[in-house]
Amino acid sequence: MEIYRAYGVAGAVERAGAPFDAESGVARCESLAGEWQWLFDAEEPRAWPDVTAGAFCMADQNTVEPILIDAAREAGAEHLFNTELLDLATDGDGVTATIEDRATGRRQVVRATYLVAADGNRSPIRQRLGIARTGEMTFQHTMNIVFRADLSGFLPRRALFWIIANPDGFFGGLVSTADPNRWQVSVAYDPATESTADFTKERCVRLVRAAVGKDIDVEIEGVGAWEQGVGVAERYRDGRVFLVGDSAHVWPPAGALGANTGVQDAHNLAWKLAAVLNGQAGDDLLDTYDAERRPLAETLAPMIVAHQQARISGAAEPEGMDGRTQAFGAAYGPGPVFDAEYGPQARVGSRAPHLWLGDIALHDLCVGDFVLLCDSPEWMDAARMAPVRAYRAEHADGWTRLYGPGAVLIRPDGYVAWRSTGPASAQNLANAIDHALRPTTKQLDERV
Protein backbone atom coordinates (compact mmCIF):
# COMPACT_ATOMS: atom_id res chain seq x y z
CA MET A 1 0.00 0.00 0.00
CA GLU A 2 2.95 2.33 0.57
CA ILE A 3 4.02 1.73 -3.04
CA TYR A 4 0.44 2.11 -4.28
CA ARG A 5 0.24 5.49 -2.51
CA ALA A 6 3.24 6.74 -4.45
CA TYR A 7 1.59 5.80 -7.74
CA GLY A 8 -1.77 7.28 -6.83
CA VAL A 9 -3.83 4.08 -6.65
CA ALA A 10 -4.01 3.46 -2.89
CA GLY A 11 -7.38 5.19 -2.56
CA ALA A 12 -8.95 3.02 -5.25
CA VAL A 13 -7.50 -0.13 -3.67
CA GLU A 14 -8.87 0.91 -0.27
CA ARG A 15 -12.31 1.38 -1.78
CA ALA A 16 -12.05 -2.04 -3.44
CA GLY A 17 -11.21 -3.50 -0.03
CA ALA A 18 -14.15 -1.87 1.76
CA PRO A 19 -16.18 -5.14 1.88
CA PHE A 20 -13.37 -6.64 4.01
CA ASP A 21 -13.00 -3.73 6.43
CA ALA A 22 -14.67 -5.61 9.28
CA GLU A 23 -12.28 -8.56 8.97
CA SER A 24 -9.17 -9.11 11.08
CA GLY A 25 -7.25 -11.94 12.68
CA VAL A 26 -7.04 -15.67 11.94
CA ALA A 27 -9.34 -18.07 13.79
CA ARG A 28 -9.22 -21.82 14.35
CA CYS A 29 -12.31 -23.87 15.20
CA GLU A 30 -14.02 -27.22 14.83
CA SER A 31 -16.85 -25.47 12.98
CA LEU A 32 -18.10 -21.94 12.50
CA ALA A 33 -21.00 -22.73 14.82
CA GLY A 34 -18.61 -23.81 17.60
CA GLU A 35 -15.99 -22.09 19.73
CA TRP A 36 -13.22 -20.13 18.01
CA GLN A 37 -9.57 -19.85 19.01
CA TRP A 38 -7.74 -16.78 17.70
CA LEU A 39 -4.29 -17.64 16.33
CA PHE A 40 -3.37 -13.99 16.31
CA ASP A 41 -5.02 -10.87 17.61
CA ALA A 42 -8.40 -10.28 16.06
CA GLU A 43 -7.84 -6.56 16.63
CA GLU A 44 -4.48 -6.38 14.82
CA PRO A 45 -3.80 -2.70 13.99
CA ARG A 46 -4.30 -1.69 10.38
CA ALA A 47 -2.10 1.39 10.52
CA TRP A 48 1.44 1.85 11.85
CA PRO A 49 1.71 5.65 11.65
CA ASP A 50 5.19 5.68 13.15
CA VAL A 51 6.44 3.42 10.33
CA THR A 52 4.48 4.25 7.17
CA ALA A 53 1.81 6.49 5.69
CA GLY A 54 0.28 3.39 4.10
CA ALA A 55 -2.35 1.32 5.85
CA PHE A 56 -3.18 -2.38 5.77
CA CYS A 57 -5.85 -3.22 3.22
CA MET A 58 -7.58 -6.51 2.52
CA ALA A 59 -8.63 -6.47 -1.14
CA ASP A 60 -8.92 -9.40 -3.53
CA GLN A 61 -7.01 -9.87 -6.74
CA ASN A 62 -10.16 -9.66 -8.87
CA THR A 63 -10.73 -6.04 -7.85
CA VAL A 64 -7.12 -4.84 -7.49
CA GLU A 65 -5.85 -5.96 -10.89
CA PRO A 66 -8.29 -3.79 -12.92
CA ILE A 67 -7.17 -0.78 -10.86
CA LEU A 68 -3.53 -1.44 -11.68
CA ILE A 69 -4.37 -2.07 -15.34
CA ASP A 70 -6.17 1.27 -15.63
CA ALA A 71 -3.25 3.08 -13.98
CA ALA A 72 -0.78 1.39 -16.33
CA ARG A 73 -2.88 2.33 -19.36
CA GLU A 74 -2.91 5.96 -18.26
CA ALA A 75 0.90 5.77 -18.13
CA GLY A 76 1.04 4.45 -21.70
CA ALA A 77 0.96 0.67 -21.27
CA GLU A 78 -0.84 -1.61 -23.73
CA HIS A 79 -2.48 -4.81 -22.51
CA LEU A 80 -3.09 -7.79 -24.79
CA PHE A 81 -5.41 -10.21 -23.02
CA ASN A 82 -6.10 -13.76 -24.18
CA THR A 83 -2.66 -13.71 -25.75
CA GLU A 84 -0.16 -16.56 -25.52
CA LEU A 85 3.62 -16.43 -25.79
CA LEU A 86 4.53 -19.13 -28.30
CA ASP A 87 8.25 -18.61 -28.64
CA LEU A 88 11.08 -16.35 -27.55
CA ALA A 89 14.69 -15.91 -28.50
CA THR A 90 17.30 -13.66 -26.92
CA ASP A 91 20.45 -12.14 -28.37
CA GLY A 92 22.95 -9.48 -27.39
CA ASP A 93 20.58 -6.64 -28.25
CA GLY A 94 17.21 -7.84 -27.04
CA VAL A 95 14.37 -10.36 -27.14
CA THR A 96 12.23 -11.54 -30.02
CA ALA A 97 8.88 -13.02 -29.01
CA THR A 98 6.14 -14.67 -31.05
CA ILE A 99 2.69 -14.17 -29.59
CA GLU A 100 -0.76 -15.39 -30.62
CA ASP A 101 -4.25 -14.05 -30.03
CA ARG A 102 -6.01 -17.17 -28.77
CA ALA A 103 -9.41 -15.97 -30.00
CA THR A 104 -8.44 -15.16 -33.60
CA GLY A 105 -5.28 -17.20 -34.05
CA ARG A 106 -3.45 -14.10 -35.29
CA ARG A 107 0.27 -14.22 -34.64
CA GLN A 108 2.76 -11.40 -34.45
CA VAL A 109 6.42 -10.96 -33.64
CA VAL A 110 7.38 -8.48 -30.92
CA ARG A 111 10.88 -7.11 -30.50
CA ALA A 112 11.92 -5.73 -27.11
CA THR A 113 15.09 -4.79 -25.27
CA TYR A 114 14.14 -6.84 -22.21
CA LEU A 115 11.41 -9.30 -21.19
CA VAL A 116 9.86 -9.43 -17.72
CA ALA A 117 8.34 -12.82 -16.94
CA ALA A 118 5.40 -12.34 -14.58
CA ASP A 119 3.72 -15.52 -15.78
CA GLY A 120 2.82 -17.19 -12.49
CA ASN A 121 4.13 -19.96 -10.30
CA ARG A 122 4.34 -22.51 -13.12
CA SER A 123 6.07 -19.91 -15.33
CA PRO A 124 6.48 -21.45 -18.80
CA ILE A 125 9.16 -18.83 -19.44
CA ARG A 126 11.19 -19.94 -16.43
CA GLN A 127 10.85 -23.54 -17.53
CA ARG A 128 11.83 -22.66 -21.11
CA LEU A 129 15.00 -21.06 -19.78
CA GLY A 130 15.80 -24.12 -17.66
CA ILE A 131 15.80 -22.22 -14.37
CA ALA A 132 15.26 -24.63 -11.49
CA ARG A 133 13.77 -23.73 -8.10
CA THR A 134 15.71 -24.30 -4.90
CA GLY A 135 13.88 -25.81 -1.94
CA GLU A 136 11.02 -26.81 -4.21
CA MET A 137 8.34 -28.97 -2.65
CA THR A 138 4.57 -29.36 -2.59
CA PHE A 139 3.27 -30.03 0.88
CA GLN A 140 -0.47 -29.89 0.32
CA HIS A 141 -2.90 -30.32 -2.56
CA THR A 142 -6.04 -28.30 -2.03
CA MET A 143 -9.47 -28.24 -3.62
CA ASN A 144 -11.24 -24.88 -3.53
CA ILE A 145 -15.04 -24.94 -3.32
CA VAL A 146 -16.82 -21.66 -4.08
CA PHE A 147 -20.34 -21.52 -2.69
CA ARG A 148 -23.15 -19.19 -1.75
CA ALA A 149 -24.77 -19.29 1.68
CA ASP A 150 -25.96 -16.98 4.43
CA LEU A 151 -23.38 -17.43 7.21
CA SER A 152 -24.23 -14.26 9.13
CA GLY A 153 -25.76 -16.21 12.01
CA PHE A 154 -22.45 -17.98 12.66
CA LEU A 155 -20.11 -15.00 12.53
CA PRO A 156 -20.02 -12.98 15.75
CA ARG A 157 -16.83 -11.51 14.32
CA ARG A 158 -15.34 -11.76 10.85
CA ALA A 159 -11.82 -13.16 10.48
CA LEU A 160 -9.44 -12.80 7.58
CA PHE A 161 -9.27 -16.58 7.47
CA TRP A 162 -10.74 -19.53 9.38
CA ILE A 163 -8.88 -22.83 9.86
CA ILE A 164 -11.42 -25.58 10.50
CA ALA A 165 -10.70 -29.09 11.78
CA ASN A 166 -13.40 -31.30 13.29
CA PRO A 167 -14.11 -34.90 14.34
CA ASP A 168 -16.28 -35.38 11.24
CA GLY A 169 -13.08 -35.54 9.22
CA PHE A 170 -13.24 -32.04 7.79
CA PHE A 171 -9.92 -30.19 7.61
CA GLY A 172 -9.51 -27.02 5.62
CA GLY A 173 -10.01 -23.28 5.56
CA LEU A 174 -12.66 -20.68 4.84
CA VAL A 175 -12.30 -17.22 3.32
CA SER A 176 -14.80 -14.55 2.36
CA THR A 177 -15.23 -12.65 -0.91
CA ALA A 178 -16.42 -9.13 -1.64
CA ASP A 179 -19.95 -10.56 -1.98
CA PRO A 180 -21.29 -11.04 1.60
CA ASN A 181 -22.94 -14.36 0.72
CA ARG A 182 -20.20 -15.79 -1.47
CA TRP A 183 -17.45 -17.87 0.20
CA GLN A 184 -14.64 -20.26 -0.52
CA VAL A 185 -13.86 -23.33 1.51
CA SER A 186 -10.60 -25.21 0.85
CA VAL A 187 -9.98 -28.86 1.69
CA ALA A 188 -6.92 -31.06 1.33
CA TYR A 189 -7.10 -33.94 -1.16
CA ASP A 190 -4.79 -36.57 -2.66
CA PRO A 191 -4.33 -36.09 -6.43
CA ALA A 192 -3.15 -39.70 -6.71
CA THR A 193 -6.63 -40.95 -5.83
CA GLU A 194 -8.95 -37.98 -6.43
CA SER A 195 -9.63 -35.27 -9.01
CA THR A 196 -11.95 -32.33 -9.45
CA ALA A 197 -14.56 -34.70 -10.88
CA ASP A 198 -14.75 -36.51 -7.53
CA PHE A 199 -15.95 -33.33 -5.85
CA THR A 200 -19.56 -33.57 -6.90
CA LYS A 201 -22.09 -30.94 -5.83
CA GLU A 202 -23.50 -33.32 -3.24
CA ARG A 203 -20.07 -33.96 -1.73
CA CYS A 204 -19.24 -30.26 -1.75
CA VAL A 205 -22.48 -29.44 0.07
CA ARG A 206 -21.60 -32.02 2.73
CA LEU A 207 -18.14 -30.51 3.14
CA VAL A 208 -19.51 -26.99 3.49
CA ARG A 209 -22.04 -28.10 6.09
CA ALA A 210 -19.30 -29.93 8.00
CA ALA A 211 -17.27 -26.71 8.05
CA VAL A 212 -20.24 -24.65 9.25
CA GLY A 213 -21.49 -27.24 11.73
CA LYS A 214 -25.14 -26.89 10.64
CA ASP A 215 -27.33 -28.16 7.81
CA ILE A 216 -27.69 -24.83 6.04
CA ASP A 217 -28.85 -24.07 2.49
CA VAL A 218 -25.82 -24.15 0.17
CA GLU A 219 -25.41 -23.35 -3.52
CA ILE A 220 -22.19 -24.62 -5.08
CA GLU A 221 -20.74 -22.34 -7.75
CA GLY A 222 -17.60 -24.25 -8.68
CA VAL A 223 -14.51 -26.19 -7.67
CA GLY A 224 -10.84 -25.88 -8.60
CA ALA A 225 -7.56 -27.48 -7.55
CA TRP A 226 -4.36 -25.74 -6.48
CA GLU A 227 -1.10 -26.63 -4.76
CA GLN A 228 0.43 -25.22 -1.62
CA GLY A 229 4.13 -25.32 -2.32
CA VAL A 230 7.39 -23.49 -1.98
CA GLY A 231 10.33 -22.81 -4.25
CA VAL A 232 12.70 -19.98 -5.19
CA ALA A 233 14.18 -19.63 -8.67
CA GLU A 234 17.91 -20.30 -8.70
CA ARG A 235 18.37 -17.03 -10.57
CA TYR A 236 16.08 -14.09 -11.29
CA ARG A 237 17.93 -12.95 -14.40
CA ASP A 238 18.80 -14.88 -17.53
CA GLY A 239 20.40 -12.47 -19.95
CA ARG A 240 17.61 -10.24 -21.22
CA VAL A 241 14.88 -11.97 -19.19
CA PHE A 242 13.84 -11.26 -15.59
CA LEU A 243 11.53 -13.25 -13.31
CA VAL A 244 9.21 -11.38 -10.93
CA GLY A 245 6.52 -12.39 -8.46
CA ASP A 246 5.29 -15.98 -8.49
CA SER A 247 7.53 -16.88 -11.42
CA ALA A 248 10.51 -16.08 -9.18
CA HIS A 249 9.24 -17.45 -5.87
CA VAL A 250 6.21 -19.26 -4.53
CA TRP A 251 5.18 -20.02 -0.96
CA PRO A 252 2.06 -20.56 1.17
CA PRO A 253 -0.37 -17.73 1.99
CA ALA A 254 0.68 -17.28 5.63
CA GLY A 255 1.76 -13.70 6.26
CA ALA A 256 0.21 -12.39 3.02
CA LEU A 257 3.63 -12.13 1.40
CA GLY A 258 2.80 -13.48 -2.05
CA ALA A 259 1.38 -10.50 -3.91
CA ASN A 260 3.17 -8.08 -1.58
CA THR A 261 6.64 -9.40 -2.39
CA GLY A 262 5.68 -9.62 -6.07
CA VAL A 263 4.87 -5.91 -6.12
CA GLN A 264 8.14 -5.18 -4.31
CA ASP A 265 10.05 -7.25 -6.91
CA ALA A 266 8.54 -5.20 -9.71
CA HIS A 267 9.18 -1.96 -7.84
CA ASN A 268 12.85 -2.87 -7.41
CA LEU A 269 13.29 -3.84 -11.07
CA ALA A 270 11.25 -1.09 -12.71
CA TRP A 271 13.37 1.93 -11.75
CA LYS A 272 16.51 0.07 -12.77
CA LEU A 273 15.08 -0.81 -16.18
CA ALA A 274 14.05 2.82 -16.62
CA ALA A 275 17.55 4.05 -15.71
CA VAL A 276 19.17 1.68 -18.22
CA LEU A 277 16.70 2.40 -21.02
CA ASN A 278 17.05 6.16 -20.44
CA GLY A 279 20.83 5.93 -20.69
CA GLN A 280 21.49 6.86 -17.06
CA ALA A 281 23.01 3.49 -16.18
CA GLY A 282 24.66 0.51 -17.77
CA ASP A 283 23.22 -2.98 -18.04
CA ASP A 284 25.18 -4.06 -14.93
CA LEU A 285 22.67 -2.18 -12.76
CA LEU A 286 20.12 -4.84 -13.65
CA ASP A 287 22.27 -7.52 -12.00
CA THR A 288 21.44 -5.91 -8.66
CA TYR A 289 17.82 -7.03 -9.04
CA ASP A 290 18.78 -10.67 -8.53
CA ALA A 291 21.42 -9.75 -5.96
CA GLU A 292 18.92 -7.80 -3.84
CA ARG A 293 15.67 -9.69 -4.18
CA ARG A 294 16.67 -13.37 -4.38
CA PRO A 295 18.45 -13.61 -0.98
CA LEU A 296 15.34 -12.07 0.56
CA ALA A 297 13.12 -14.77 -0.95
CA GLU A 298 15.50 -17.54 0.08
CA THR A 299 15.29 -16.29 3.67
CA LEU A 300 11.52 -15.79 3.64
CA ALA A 301 10.59 -19.16 2.11
CA PRO A 302 11.34 -21.44 5.10
CA MET A 303 9.96 -18.84 7.52
CA ILE A 304 6.63 -18.71 5.69
CA VAL A 305 6.44 -22.50 5.45
CA ALA A 306 7.00 -22.79 9.22
CA HIS A 307 4.34 -20.13 9.77
CA GLN A 308 1.82 -21.98 7.59
CA GLN A 309 2.53 -25.33 9.23
CA ALA A 310 2.01 -23.78 12.66
CA ARG A 311 -1.34 -22.40 11.55
CA ILE A 312 -2.45 -25.76 10.21
CA SER A 313 -1.37 -27.70 13.30
CA GLY A 314 -2.48 -25.13 15.86
CA ALA A 315 1.05 -24.86 17.26
CA ALA A 316 2.53 -21.61 18.52
CA GLU A 317 3.77 -19.15 15.91
CA PRO A 318 7.48 -19.74 15.19
CA GLU A 319 9.98 -17.17 16.36
CA GLY A 320 11.26 -14.74 13.79
CA MET A 321 7.88 -14.15 12.13
CA ASP A 322 7.38 -10.44 12.68
CA GLY A 323 5.10 -8.79 10.16
CA ARG A 324 6.54 -5.30 10.53
CA THR A 325 10.12 -6.44 10.05
CA GLN A 326 9.19 -8.54 7.04
CA ALA A 327 7.26 -5.68 5.48
CA PHE A 328 9.74 -2.89 6.14
CA GLY A 329 13.02 -4.46 7.24
CA ALA A 330 14.43 -5.90 4.00
CA ALA A 331 18.07 -4.82 3.68
CA TYR A 332 20.22 -4.87 0.57
CA GLY A 333 23.97 -5.27 0.76
CA PRO A 334 26.32 -7.19 3.07
CA GLY A 335 24.88 -8.47 6.32
CA PRO A 336 21.49 -9.95 7.26
CA VAL A 337 18.72 -9.65 4.68
CA PHE A 338 16.40 -8.30 7.37
CA ASP A 339 17.24 -5.25 9.45
CA ALA A 340 15.37 -5.73 12.72
CA GLU A 341 16.19 -2.11 13.62
CA TYR A 342 14.84 -0.66 10.41
CA GLY A 343 13.19 2.33 12.10
CA PRO A 344 15.61 4.19 14.37
CA GLN A 345 18.06 5.57 11.80
CA ALA A 346 18.46 5.79 8.02
CA ARG A 347 20.91 3.10 6.91
CA VAL A 348 22.46 2.58 3.49
CA GLY A 349 20.83 -0.46 1.90
CA SER A 350 17.68 -0.30 4.04
CA ARG A 351 14.28 1.23 3.41
CA ALA A 352 14.26 4.94 4.18
CA PRO A 353 12.40 5.56 7.46
CA HIS A 354 8.97 7.13 7.16
CA LEU A 355 9.01 10.93 7.40
CA TRP A 356 6.39 13.61 6.81
CA LEU A 357 7.55 16.59 4.75
CA GLY A 358 4.68 18.92 5.49
CA ASP A 359 1.61 17.05 4.30
CA ILE A 360 3.57 14.78 1.94
CA ALA A 361 4.93 11.41 3.05
CA LEU A 362 8.52 10.78 2.01
CA HIS A 363 7.70 7.55 0.18
CA ASP A 364 5.05 9.35 -1.86
CA LEU A 365 7.98 11.14 -3.54
CA CYS A 366 9.81 7.96 -4.50
CA VAL A 367 8.60 7.65 -8.07
CA GLY A 368 11.09 7.69 -10.94
CA ASP A 369 13.75 9.95 -9.44
CA PHE A 370 16.34 9.90 -6.70
CA VAL A 371 15.35 12.00 -3.69
CA LEU A 372 17.83 14.03 -1.64
CA LEU A 373 16.86 14.99 1.89
CA CYS A 374 19.11 17.63 3.44
CA ASP A 375 19.22 20.30 6.12
CA SER A 376 21.07 23.24 4.57
CA PRO A 377 20.84 25.65 1.64
CA GLU A 378 24.35 24.57 0.64
CA TRP A 379 23.14 21.03 0.00
CA MET A 380 20.18 22.40 -1.97
CA ASP A 381 22.63 24.34 -4.14
CA ALA A 382 24.78 21.22 -4.58
CA ALA A 383 21.72 19.34 -5.84
CA ARG A 384 20.74 21.85 -8.53
CA MET A 385 22.80 20.20 -11.27
CA ALA A 386 22.13 16.61 -10.16
CA PRO A 387 19.29 14.34 -11.37
CA VAL A 388 17.54 14.41 -7.99
CA ARG A 389 14.50 15.91 -6.31
CA ALA A 390 15.92 17.79 -3.31
CA TYR A 391 14.03 18.77 -0.14
CA ARG A 392 15.02 20.74 2.94
CA ALA A 393 13.91 18.50 5.77
CA GLU A 394 15.47 19.91 8.95
CA HIS A 395 12.08 21.08 10.25
CA ALA A 396 10.36 17.75 9.62
CA ASP A 397 9.34 15.94 12.79
CA GLY A 398 11.91 13.19 13.28
CA TRP A 399 14.59 14.54 10.92
CA THR A 400 17.40 14.69 13.49
CA ARG A 401 16.50 11.34 15.03
CA LEU A 402 16.03 9.48 11.75
CA TYR A 403 18.25 11.22 9.20
CA GLY A 404 20.24 14.25 10.23
CA PRO A 405 22.53 15.96 10.16
CA GLY A 406 23.70 16.40 6.57
CA ALA A 407 22.18 14.77 3.51
CA VAL A 408 20.65 11.41 2.57
CA LEU A 409 20.19 10.11 -0.97
CA ILE A 410 17.20 7.83 -1.49
CA ARG A 411 16.68 5.56 -4.50
CA PRO A 412 13.50 5.66 -6.60
CA ASP A 413 12.29 2.55 -4.76
CA GLY A 414 12.60 4.23 -1.35
CA TYR A 415 15.89 2.65 -0.22
CA VAL A 416 18.80 4.64 1.17
CA ALA A 417 21.66 4.82 -1.34
CA TRP A 418 24.07 7.15 0.48
CA ARG A 419 24.35 9.53 3.41
CA SER A 420 26.78 12.28 4.30
CA THR A 421 27.44 14.21 7.49
CA GLY A 422 30.22 16.24 5.87
CA PRO A 423 30.09 19.63 4.14
CA ALA A 424 27.86 20.03 1.11
CA SER A 425 29.56 18.92 -2.10
CA ALA A 426 28.08 18.72 -5.58
CA GLN A 427 30.89 16.36 -6.60
CA ASN A 428 30.26 13.99 -3.69
CA LEU A 429 26.57 13.92 -4.54
CA ALA A 430 27.31 13.24 -8.21
CA ASN A 431 29.67 10.44 -7.19
CA ALA A 432 27.01 8.93 -4.92
CA ILE A 433 24.43 8.89 -7.71
CA ASP A 434 26.94 7.38 -10.12
CA HIS A 435 27.85 4.75 -7.50
CA ALA A 436 24.16 3.83 -7.10
CA LEU A 437 23.63 3.58 -10.87
CA ARG A 438 26.88 1.82 -11.74
CA PRO A 439 27.59 -0.93 -9.21
CA THR A 440 31.01 -2.51 -9.12
CA THR A 441 31.66 -6.25 -9.16
CA LYS A 442 32.61 -5.96 -5.49
CA GLN A 443 29.22 -4.42 -4.67
CA LEU A 444 27.40 -7.23 -6.45
CA ASP A 445 29.48 -9.88 -4.70
CA GLU A 446 28.70 -8.29 -1.34
CA ARG A 447 24.99 -8.40 -2.05
CA VAL A 448 24.91 -12.10 -2.84
Query: Under 8 Å CB-to-CB from 412, ≥6 apart: which residues?
Result: 271, 274, 366, 367, 368, 369, 370
Strand 182-188 and strand 133-148: the pairing is: antiparallel
Cα–Cα nearest to 175, from 26, 21, 13, 1: 26
Main-chain phi, psi angles of 262, to 5 degrees = -65, -45
Report the half-sphere exposure of 119 (CA within 13 A, side-chain side): 16
**pLDDT score, position 448:** 47
Residue type, 265: D
Q: How far apart are CA 130 and CA 290, in angstroms?
A: 17
**pLDDT score, position 338:** 87
**pLDDT score, position 256:** 79
**pLDDT score, position 109:** 98
Cβ-based neighbour number of residue 247 at 10 Å? 25
Query: Under 8 Å CB-to-CB from 34, ≥6 apart: which residues?
Result: 166, 213
**Strand order through the sheet with 219-233:** 36-40, 26-29, 161-165, 171-176, 182-188, 133-148, 219-233, 249-250
Below-50 pLDDT ranges, the chain: 448
**pLDDT score, position 406:** 96
Cα–Cα nearest to 318, from 331, 302, 329, 330: 302
